[in-house]
Amino acid sequence: MEIQPIRSDADHEAALREIDRLWNAEVGTDDGDRLEILAVLVHKYEEKIYPATRVAPLDMLKFMMEQGDRTQKDLAGLLGSRSRASEIMNGKRELTLDNIRLLAREWRIPAAALVGDMERA
């Protein structure tokens, strides 16, 4: 099994094609082992070339509201306060742990995405 490091976009594309070819390989076989190793190499390359950026909780909240066709009025209804919703949406008030739990439960927003300073990352 000859596997090379992924150092370029061409190497990356070749590895992705090979992963596609091996996709249904059984675990523990030579092809299964090759698939697993290539997946790790691709993941590491993508982390290096396309690093994830941290999104500020307020930006995440706004994005999730937009995706769910929700408005500030909907947020006020959920939180029980128009002024609190306004302060949160304007970055003047942080989400509380109770707010985060409520948003996670009711709107299915990952709690981890709402933790941190509300200012832009």
Residue pLDDT, tens place only, 35-58: 999 999 999 999 999 888 888 999
Q: CB-based burial of residue 60 (10 Å sphere; 0-12 exposed, 13-18 middle, 19+ buried)?
A: buried
pLDDT at 119: 55
Rounded average pLDDT over 58-76? 96
Write out pLDDT tens, residues 16-37: 999 999 999 999 999 999 999 9
- Phi-psi sector, 3: left (phi>0), alpha (psi -120 to 50), beta: beta
Tokens of 3: 């596997």
List for the chain the helix, strand, coil content (%; round to 5): 65, 0, 35
Model confidence over 83-119: pLDDT tens digits? 999 999 999 999 999 999 999 999 999 999 999 765 5
pLDDT of residue 116: 78
Of 45, 35, 43, the C-alpha closest to 10 is 45
Q: Which one, of 39, 96, 89, 36, lies nearest residue 62 by Cα? A: 89
